[in-house]
Structure 1
Amino acid sequence: MAYVTTPTVHAGQVGEAPELGRTGAFRIGTAVAHYTMPGRSRITSWGAVTGNLQVADRTLPVRIWYPADAATGGAPVHYDHVMKFPGKPPLSLVSQGIAIAGAAPLKGKKFPLVIMSHGYGGWSTQFSNLAEHIASHGYVVASIDHEDMPVEGVSSFLLSFGNVLVDRTLDQRQILAQMLANARDRKSPWLDLVDPQNIGLIGYSMGGYGALATAGASYSFDGDPMAKIPGAAKSQLREATSQPAPIKALVTVSPWGGQPDSRAWNADGLSKIKMPVLMLVGNQDDVVNFKDGVSWLFRNLTGTERHMLVYREARHNIIGNEFRLNPDTQWNAYEFLTEPVWRSERLNAINQHFVTAFLDLTLKGDASKRAYLDVPTVDANAGEWPLSFAEQLNGTMAGAEQPKYWRGFQRRWAAGLEMHRAVAGRPGN
């Protein structure tokens, strides 16, 4: 059975989205590219025992979105995916997009490049809503399909997850390097749009784990789970993460790897990240441990300025397309795709708002977007926006005339959120 999702906001539909959560001015196209990474290691059952890794080329698809020629015609694309859970029938998912497949890229302009990396068991178009939104605001977006090893039981899970620990940052780094090399060689029209000096990276869950390493956080192999990685794979990771990738902005959503029982870094390793960081997380996230995991990461990213947007009462699934599941859909899908407290369309709109502000500030140098991030109150509920008697706002969004309210939100609609900020050299609050 197919379950359909619809993008949160389209041009002309005002809705409840905050200001920067609205679709941008650029028409967008989409394409799929494949990248082959030679000599990549693979942990097998035998290799896990002996430490000898299987070496083979690794080829992955990457979904691309880019600003397109406004005159391009064609029907909007939809994105198909089949989820498979052990012992359950396959579940078909269809996400309706707004991009045009194969649309002619806009000519004569350069745009920042944003790499996206999904979580464990995810796929490249799981966040097509966010990717299309960013592209519509003038970015080239490349979402990696990591093709994690399928899981059928405990033993296959251990192998699959072990490979993810090794693969995430290597995939991100090597695909980015190939994209930049191909852009220099002008190997495809949409690559001509890429500004190689302004690159961002967005990672969710295990994608966030990989993204922190890609940004320069060197792994600590002293404790679990990193200590259990075969020696050859450790050597690969040490070499790969000795220097940060050429990115200028990092977004991590519910990042894995900070929780005390599975801590991938120490404070010194995290302090090596120097580019600005935006973190998004639910304060009830029991997958990555908000209190002792993600908050610990935030406090120890002392080498840079960072912001942490917190969704109160939310758990792990605070990002991703809205899938309209039938009441009798298998529970595995509900747990993987939905959030128990927040509405998906609301999460998407707020994520789009803050990610756009952050990328515009850090990759486009738009200083006006700082006001959207440096909010006047940590607790959104504490924002002040006085009204005169019988005054009607009709959806007006906070601007410079409402300095005590979260910028870009409608009055009463900045609720249930917190924004924490810390500067380089100091631990976060």
Structure 2
Amino acid sequence: MTAPSAAAAATESELAPTPVVSVKPVVLEAPGRGEDLRVRISAPVTGSELPVVVLSHGYGSSLDGYGPLADFWAAHGFVVVQPTHLDSRTVGLAQDDPRTPRIWRHRVEDMKQVLDRLDLLEAAVPGLRGRLDRTRIAAAGHSFGGQTAGNLLGLRVLDPVSEEQVDLSDARIKAGVLLATAGRGGADLTPYAAEHFPFMNPDFENMTTPALVVAGDRDDSPLSVRGPEWLADPYFLSPGDKSLLTLFGAEHSLGGIAGYEVQETTDENPERVALLQRVTWAYLRHALGIEDDSWTAVRKALAEGAAPPGATPLGRIESK
């Protein structure tokens, strides 16, 4: 499947990338966090009423990660905001740091800080002032970042410190994209995951905000005893308007979304990344109420196989 056929309804001007301006780090004071919050903002140099995606990185990454997604979304009409969470290797938080047991909660608070400080972030990017559409904001995340984004959509976690389950959803978030995101906890976890990640106990019952869940059918996580199907739980166990993109042959990096030529990519596949770029782009435009034709087209293309004769399809989409 070629990228243009996956978004056949989009006009040529929409598919053509726009030059992007990116500013980093923008530093937000964060009392009680122990570290200022460092953020990267990427935006197209043209256009108005631009929707916003707040992108949460996976464990250990930073605002410098996920270029294949952040760059594509920004070059095609979105403002992409990337906070660096406390678990980033660039922060170097010690395992015995008192903040470590609640690292999951600090991540969600980072995302809310971004939403609270959009004025400051907008002003930090030359030429961006007055061009944001604050009624169209999405949360996206990969791996640990998927759980972080999911919290804003209504996913709940039993805090291992307070032993309370708190609603951290945010009405400003209108849609989500959850990439290679953990499924149920409890007996579904390996002993290592249960011991080292006690916050990995998501409850999807209240995750009602529309979302696209992306899972690789070869993402055999060392954190779960269930195999790749575990990563589809955010779709099957949550209510409301949800879609699931299953990428065939994809492992945890989904073909290479974590960065350009990064070491953690175990399944490098440019075609898979190109498909993911355009499917997520089309979904976000659909879910944020911009236009539906591109999403209809990618669903139709994948339903029809969307691959050259003799080639293996790259994935499938299902919705509920």
The TM-score, its normalising length taken from structure 2, stands at: 0.79
Aligned to 2:179: 253
Matched with 2:293 is 368
Residue 285 of structure 1 pairs with residue 219 of structure 2: yes
% of aligned pairs identical? Answer: 20
| Structure 2 residue 295 is the aligned partner of structure 1 residue 358 | no
1:415 to 296, 306, 313: 313
Alignment partner of 1:119 is 2:58: yes
2:216–2:228 CA contact under 8 A, matched in 1: no
Q: Could you say if the C-alpha distance between residues 199 and 412 of structure 1 is closer, same or farther in structure 2, counting changes exceeding 3 Å?
A: farther
245 and 410 in structure 1: CA distance in 2 versus 1, 3 angstrom threshold: farther
User: Kindly tell me: are residues 257 and 59 of structure 1, through their superposed partners in 2, closer, same or farther at Cα, counting changes over 3 Å?
Assistant: farther
| Distance in 2 (alpha carbons) for counterparts of 1:414 and 1:18 | 18
Query: How big is each residue's C-alpha offset from its partner over 1:86-135, in whole Å with a ceiling of 9 and x where there is no partner?
Result: xxxxxxxxxxxxxxxxxxxx37x210011111000012222112111111
State the shift of 1:258 in Å. 2.7
The residue number in structure 2 matching 1:97 is none
Tell me which moved more, 209-218 or 253-262. 253-262
Pair 1:264–1:145, CA change in 2 (3 A): same
**Cα pair 1:320 1:348 within 8 Å, conserved:** no
Identify the residue that residue 28 of structure 2 maps to in structure 1.
Answer: 35
**Matched residue SS, 1:192:** coil
Compared CA separation, residues 242 and 279, structure 1 to 2 (3 A): closer
Whether the 8 Å CA contact 1:358–1:373 is kept in 2: the answer is no
| Distance across 2 between alignment mates of 1:361 and 1:413 | 29
SS at match of 1:115: strand
In structure 2, the partner of 1:391 is none
> Do 1:173 and 1:245's aligned partners in 2 also have CA atoms closer than 8 Å?
no
Distance (Å, rounded) in 2 between the aligned partners of 1:65 and 1:217: 27
Residue in 2 aligned with 1:207? 145
- Give the superposition deviation at 1:197: 0.1
1:86 is matched with which residue? none
Q: In structure 2, what residue type is equivalent to 1:59?
A: D
Instruction: Give secondary structure in 1 for the equivalent of 2:297.
Output: helix
Distance of aligned partners of 1:149 and 1:351 in 2 relative to their CA distance in 1, 3 Å threshold: closer
Change over 3 Å in CA distance of 1:122–1:149 after alignment to 2: closer
Aligned counterparts of 2:40 and 2:295: Cα–Cα separation in 1: 30
CA apart distance, 1:257: 4.9
Choose which of 186, 210, 235 in structure 2 pairs with 1:276. 210
Question: Following superposition of structure 1 onto structure 2, how do residues 256-335 of structure 1 map, counting pairs within 5 Å?
Answer: 256-259=182-185, 260-261=188-189, 263-266=200-203, 270-287=204-221, 289=224, 290-291=227-228, 293-302=230-239, 304-318=240-254, 319-323=257-261, 334=263
Structure 1 residue ranges without an equivalent (≥5)? 1-14, 41-55, 69-105, 324-332, 384-403, 424-429
Q: What amino acid sits opposite 1:141 in the alignment?
A: V
What is the Cα-based RMSD across aligned positions, in Å? 3.2
Distance 1:298 1:250 in 2: 12
1:66 corresponds to: 43
Note if contact 2:52-2:78 (Cα within 8 Å) is conserved in structure 1. Answer: yes
Amino acid at match of 1:171: D
**Residue 345 of structure 1 pairs with residue 270 of structure 2:** yes
Letter in 1 for 2:70: A
Q: Report the structure number with the largest CA radius of gyration.
A: 1
1:413/1:210 CA distance change after superposition, 3 Å: same
Give the partner amino acid of 1:156. Answer: Q
- Answer yes or no: is 1:138 the counterpart of 2:77: yes
Paired residue total? 294
SS at match of 2:235: helix
1:338 partner amino acid: T
CA distance in 1, matches of 2:271, 2:59: 24
**Hey, what's the Cα distance between the residues in 1 that align with 2:317 and 2:54?**
24
In structure 1, how many angstroms separate the alpha carbons of the residues matched to 2:309 and 2:132? 38
Structure 2 CA distance for partners of 1:34 and 1:277, relative to 1, 3 Å:
same
Contact preservation (8 Å) 1:110, 1:195:
yes
Q: Summarize the Cα distance change of 1:113–1:416 in structure 2 as closer, same or farther, 3 Å threshold.
A: closer
CA distance in 2, matches of 1:23, 1:204: 24
Q: CA deviation at 1:164?
A: 2.6
Aligned mates of 2:28, 2:310 — CA distance in 1: 46
- Cα contact 1:20–1:352 (8 A) shared by 2: no
SS at match of 1:173: helix
Give the one of 13, 20, 24 matched to 2:16.
24
Equivalent-residue separation in structure 1 for 2:6 and 2:315 (angstroms): 16
1:373 CA displacement: 4.6
Q: Give how far 1:143 is off.
A: 1.3
Counterpart of 1:217? 155
Q: Distance in 1 between matches of 2:31 and 2:97?
A: 24
Secondary structure in structure 1 of the residue aligned to 2:273 = helix
Q: Distance in 1 between matches of 2:311 and 2:173?
A: 33
Q: How far apart in 1 are the matches of 2:5 and 2:36?
A: 39
Give the whole-Å Cα distance in 2 for the aligned partners of 1:162 and 1:149: 15
Instruction: Report the AA paired with residue 37 of structure 1.
Output: A
Relative to structure 1, is the Cα distance of residues 196 and 284 closer, same or farther in structure 2, using a 3 angstrom cutoff?
A: same
Aligned to 1:194: 132
Name the SS of the counterpart of 2:137 in structure 1: strand
Aligned partner letter, 1:249: A
Which ranges of structure 2 fall in alignment gaps of 5 or more residues?
A: 8-13, 195-199
Q: CA deviation at 1:307?
A: 1.4
